[in-house]
């Protein structure tokens, strides 16, 4: 899951003078940062996405793609209002061990659109974006030896490979994409 510390750290990667348009389902961090960032345009969005809006600058941040019921439609909306903008999408990892453990224990699944890393290339391709990178963010370091057991809130996950460890340990992903 993407948390406020990850959001803030990501926002700090943009120099203050750079114009950035942020589309956020959870805008609190961006609202707090806006007074120090006059070139930040913020649009709070709900699970359904956005209506008509405009972008300032060449960068659009989408936070959190997993909170939307139709991520491809949102990406299509971004293309419509900012056809040449680079997209930076924060995406919660549906396979993050703490999220899966809470779900297994009976909590409702917290994401409107559960996404794992393997699904992201097809999602962006469907919206006519070319993924430039997909980087794991947050979470914890994957285990180094296999087989291994990862315990989370009373649930034990058997980890047989580095790929499985990375899926369980990444809280989310930062996807950078350009329009095709």
Burial per residue of 144-177, b for 16 or more beta-carbon CB atoms within 10 angstroms, e otherwise: eeeeeebebeeeebebeeeebbbbbbbbbbbbbb
Which CATH number describes the domain made up of 4-95+106-138+171-179?
A: 3.40.50.150
Dihedral sign from CA coordinates of 121, 127, 130, 132: negative
Does pTM surpass 0.85? no
- At residue 92, the pLDDT reads 86
| pLDDT interval class at 168 (50, 70, 90) | confident
- At residue 80, the pLDDT reads 86
Residue 89: CB atoms within 10 A of its CB come to 29
Angle, in degrees to the nearest 10, between helices 162-169 and 97-104: 70
Give residues with Cβ within 8 angstroms of 177, minimum separation 6.
86, 87, 89, 124, 129, 130, 131, 132
Instruction: State the number of CA atoms in the 13 A half-sphere of 141 facing the CB.
Output: 3
Helix (H, G, I), strand (E, B) or coil at 78: helix
Domain ranges of the chain: 4-95+106-138+171-179
- The residue that leads in pLDDT, 54 or 8, is 8
Q: What is the pLDDT of residues 49-108, one digit of tens each?
A: 565 566 666 899 999 888 888 888 889 888 888 899 999 999 988 877 777 777 777 777
Average pLDDT, the chain: 83
Tell which phi-psi region holds residue 99, choosing left (phi > 0), alpha (psi between -120 and 50) or beta. Answer: alpha
């Amino acid at each position: 899951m993407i948390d406020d510390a990850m959001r803030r750290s990501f926002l700090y990667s943009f120099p203050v003078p750079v114009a950035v348009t942020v589309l956020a389902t959870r805008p609190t961090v961006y609202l707090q940062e806006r007074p120090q960032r006059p070139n930040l345009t913020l649009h709070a969005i709900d699970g359904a996405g956005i209506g008509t809006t405009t972008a300032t600058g060449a960068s659009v941040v989408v936070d959190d793609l997993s909170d939307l019921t139709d991520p491809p439609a949102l990406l299509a909306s971004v293309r419509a209002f900012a056809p040449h903008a680079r997209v930076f999408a924060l995406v919660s990892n549906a396979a993050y061990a703490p999220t899966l453990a809470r779900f297994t224990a009976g909590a409702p699944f917290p994401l409107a659109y559960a996404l794992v890393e393997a699904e992201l290339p097809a999602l962006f391709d469907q919206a006519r974006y070319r993924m430039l990178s997909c980087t794991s963010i947050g979470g914890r370091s994957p285990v180094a030896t296999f087989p291994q057991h990862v315990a989370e809130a009373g649930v034990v996950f058997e980890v047989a490979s580095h790929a499985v460890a990375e899926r369980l340990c990444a809280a989310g992903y930062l996807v950078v994409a350009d329009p095709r």
